[in-house]
Amino acid sequence: MTGIELAVRARGLRRTFDAVVAVDGVDLDVEAGGIFGLLGPDGAGKSTLIRMLATTLAPDAGAAEIFGHSVIAERDLVTPRIGYMSQRFSMYPDLSVAENLEFFATIRGVPRAARRERAGRLLEAMGLAEFARRQAQHLSGGMKQKLMLATTLMHEPDLLLLDEPTTGVDPVSRREFWRILAGLHREGRTVLVATPYMDEAERCTHIAFLDAGRITRSGTPAEIKAQVPGTLFEVRTAESRAATPVLASVVGVRSAHPLGDVVRVLWDGDDEPVAALGGALESAGLPGAAIEAIAPDMETVFGFLADVGHGEPS
């Protein structure tokens, strides 16, 4: 990895809570300047991992460095370079948007002269300028998340550690939030973002999938998609439930899942797939299906990868 600056380097990171192993020996390299997505279901260990990187939770074992500095031994060198946004709404509800920014900038040691200029610029960039005087408690869910992001940016950190910033936020605000993250990426900041939403993986330069405290897959979205063995087909039929077991039993089909009025099929057989799938459905009394190869989205990819088992973590 010579020549590539690492924003995060973790080795064997582990944390338990009584009998629960929340993070179970995680190795992680996050290149500086990327948007790294940490994907995984509820309880996978995303928050625990991020909290250890953010220096707010001590690991039981292993080591982590942020821009080459240990999160344990060199905490004072790490904290000025990171902006951590937790899952909880951690603003003062009865302070205004501008007052919250001022407050958090002060505790992060931002010089007075810089505070007003930065706050103005960030509020503008977040589309919050006209709400500067509104009490934080009266913001919408999406606006609260943007305010939290703005406060984490007041001390101009190089690495953002964002714990599910879009969970529970409406789709329009989610898109808006990702537009802002793309802007931060263009500015050269590194973003490590935890999310349960597979579609958000497409917007990342790199992703890692966390399951029961372990990273089971990692790479660029294209690399992860390339791990799916075979080609995906969408079979549109009037009776997708009845068609699913028929399709699953065709030689060459690795798995088949109904999704509304279609069945998604993973094919890696030797025969001509459209003829084989269509023929099987006709023989089962389900003629007239429309069958086409599809470009897989991340949600589908992870579904199929779960079926075919875990690969070697890279």
> What DSSP designation does 261 have?
T
Q: What residues form DSSP beta bridges with 193?
A: 37, 162
Residue 40 or 142 having the CB closest to ligand ATP? 40
Give the binding-site size for ligand ATP (rule: CB under 6 A): 12
The CA angle 264-269-274, to the nearest 5 degrees, is: 55
CA distances from residue 99 to 48, 123, 138, 153, 287 in whole angstroms, order as listed:
30, 12, 14, 15, 65
* Closest distance to ligand ATP from the beta carbon of 137 (Å): 23
* Closest distance to ligand ATP from the beta carbon of 290 (Å): 38
Cα(187)–Cα(295) distance, integer angstroms: 31
Cα(297)–Cα(58) distance, integer angstroms: 36
Question: Token digits for 67?
Answer: 């821009």
**22 near ligand ATP (CB under 6 A):** yes
* Closest distance to ligand ATP from the beta carbon of 168 (Å): 11
**44 near ligand ATP (CB under 6 A):** yes
* Closest distance to ligand ATP from the beta carbon of 57 (Å): 8
Of 37, 45, 221, 258, which lies in the binding site for ligand ATP, with binding defined by CB under 6 A? 45
Residue 194 or 298 having the CB closest to ligand ATP? 194
Of 2, 42, 112, 188, which lies in the binding site for ligand ATP, with binding defined by CB under 6 A? 42
**46 near ligand ATP (CB under 6 A):** yes
Residues 161 to 190: which contact ligand ATP by CB under 6 A?
A: 164
**DSSP string of 172-188, one letter each residue:** HHHHHHHHHHHHHHHTT
Tell me what percent of the chain is helix, strand and coil, each rounded to the nearest 5.
40, 30, 35
* Closest distance to ligand ATP from the beta carbon of 113 (Å): 38
List residues binding ligand ATP (CB under 6 A): 17, 20, 22, 40, 42-48, 164
